[in-house]
Structure 1
Amino acid sequence: MSARPHIVLRDADREDAAALVALWTECAGASVDEGSEAFTQQALWRKPGVAEAAAALDLSLNKPDKRIIVALVNGEIIGATVCDIGTLTPITLTRVLIVTEIQVSPRYRRKSVASTLLSAAATYGEDHNCELVVAAIPVHSREPHRYLTKIGFNQIAVLRAIQSTKLRSRLTSKATNSRDTGKLIAVRRTLRRRQSEVRGSRPRPSDRNVTGAD
C-alpha cells in the first residue's frame, strides 16, 4: 500500500480556474466506464473555458456563507468540495451545511482526500452552528455513495434535472393539450344536448297519424 500523500487544504480563488477545470474534466472522464447511469450525468457536463470558470468562481465566492475548499498535493489541486450554509426549510431557522460537490482526482482516490475535505466542511458547518450536513452526490458515483453511507449519511431526497428549454416545452405542450381536450369535451357535450333537444321536439309517429286522420 502506497503511503498517504501530505494533503494541504485552502480556500479556492479565481486563480484556480484552470486547475479546477482540469480536475472536473478528469473526474468526468473517469465516469465513462461507470455504466448507463453515468451517461445521464455526463450529458449535464460541459467543459467550460478558463475565463468562464473564473467568472463562475467570482460569482460563487461573492455569495455569503459559500465556501470552496481545495485539496493540494505537492502544489497540485487534486480535490475540491463546495459548501453552502442554508436553512432546512424556508420557514425554519434550523441551519444546514450543504455539500454540493466532492471531487477527487482518480489518481488520488482511496488516499483519504475525500475524508479530509469532508472533515474541513464539517468544521465549517460547526463554526456556523449547522445542525445537519447534507451531501449532494451524482447518482452514478457508487463509491462516494457507499462511503457516505458507511460514515452515517442517510438518503433524504432525490435530485432530478432537465434542460430548462425542454421543461418549458413540455409544460406548454401539456397545458395546451389540456385546454384543447377540455374544449373538445365541451363541444361534444353541447352537440349531444342539442341533438337530445331536437329529438325531444319532434312529434312522435302516433301524433302524426292522429293529425293526418283529422
Structure 2
Amino acid sequence: MARQLAKVRDAGPDDAPALLVLWHDLVRRTNVDPVEQARAAIARVAADPDERIIVVEWDCEVIGALQLRRVALGPLTDEMTVLASHLQVLTGHRRQGVGHLLMEAAVAWAEEKDVSYLTGMATGARDTNRFLARLGLAQAGVMRGAPVATVRTRLGSSGRGASGTVSAVRPSGSRHLGQVLASRRTQRRRSSERDPD
C-alpha cells in the first residue's frame, strides 16, 4: 500500500457494508437489517461532537477503521481522554501502516479537542494489544463484557427486590472478612509461639 495514496476520513453512511465486514465480530444478530442498523449508528456518531468513526480508504476500498470517543478519564475527575477502540485492519493490508494512520488521526483529534491523554482498547486481539503497547500505551486495566442476562443469572436472584432496586448490602461479607483476618492473626500468633527466635 502506498501510504501517500491512503486517505483517512470520517465514516459515512455508505461505509456501512465495509464496516460490517471489518467489525463482523461485533455485529449482533437481530431482526433489524444490519446495514440499516450500521447506517443509523454511523449517523448517530456523526451527530455527536465527542465521538467519531474514522476509516482508511485505499483504492476506493475501506481497509481500516477506528472508533474514537472523548470521555472522562475516571469517575472522579474532569480530565478527559480520547478512547480509541475497535481498531481493525483488513487482513491483506496489515503491517502496511494502516494502524499508524488511524492512530495518527486519533492523536490529531485528541490535540484538536485539547485532550492530553489517549486510551486504547484492544478488543481481544493480541496483535492490536501489542501494536498499542509499541506506541507507548501501557495496560491500564482489563475490560470484560457479557449480556446483562448472563450476569444476572450468575449473580442469582438475591440482591434485587420486586421493584428492581438493589436491596441493602448484607453485612455477611464484612463479617466473613473479619473471620478471615482473625484466623490469620491466630495462625501468626501460634507460629511465633513455636518459633523461639
* Post-superposition offset of 1:4: 5.3
Identity %: 31
Q: How does 1:19-38 map to 2 (within 5 A)?
A: 19-25=18-24, 28=25
Contact 1:5 1:111 in 2 (8 A): no
User: TM-score by structure 1 length?
Assistant: 0.67
Shift of 1:65: 1.2
Where in structure 2 are the equivalents of 1:39-58 lying within 5 Å?
45-46=27-28, 49-58=34-43
* 2:126 equivalent to 1:148: no
Given the two structures, how large is their TM-score scaled by the length of structure 2?
A: 0.72
The DSSP-based 3-state class of the residue aligned with 2:153 is helix
Alignment counterpart, residue 141 of structure 2, candidates 157, 161, 168: 157
Q: How does 1:162-177 map to 2 (within 5 A)?
A: 162-175=146-159
From the two aligned structures, give the one with the greater helix fraction: 1
Q: Which amino acid aligns with 2:155?
A: L
- Secondary structure, counterpart of 1:10 in structure 2: strand
Deviation at 1:90, TM superposition (A): 3.3
Cα shift at 1:87: 1.7
CA deviations over 1:173-205 (Å, ceiling 9, x no partner) = 3448xx9xx9xxxxxxxxxxxxxxxxxxxxxxx
Using the TM superposition, give the Cα deviation of residue 89 of structure 1 relative to its aligned residue in structure 2, in angstroms.
1.9
Asked which structure has the greater CA Rg, the reply is 1
CA distance 1:118–1:104, shift in 2 (3 Å): same
Q: Secondary structure at the match of 1:152?
A: coil
The offset of 1:156, in angstroms, is: 0.5
2:103 corresponding residue in structure 1? 118
**Deviation digits for residues 109-131 of structure 1, max 9, x if unmatched?**
00000001100110000111112
Residue correspondences, number: 159
2:184 matched to which residue of 1?
Answer: none
Higher RCO (CA-CA < 8 Å; seq separation 6+): 1
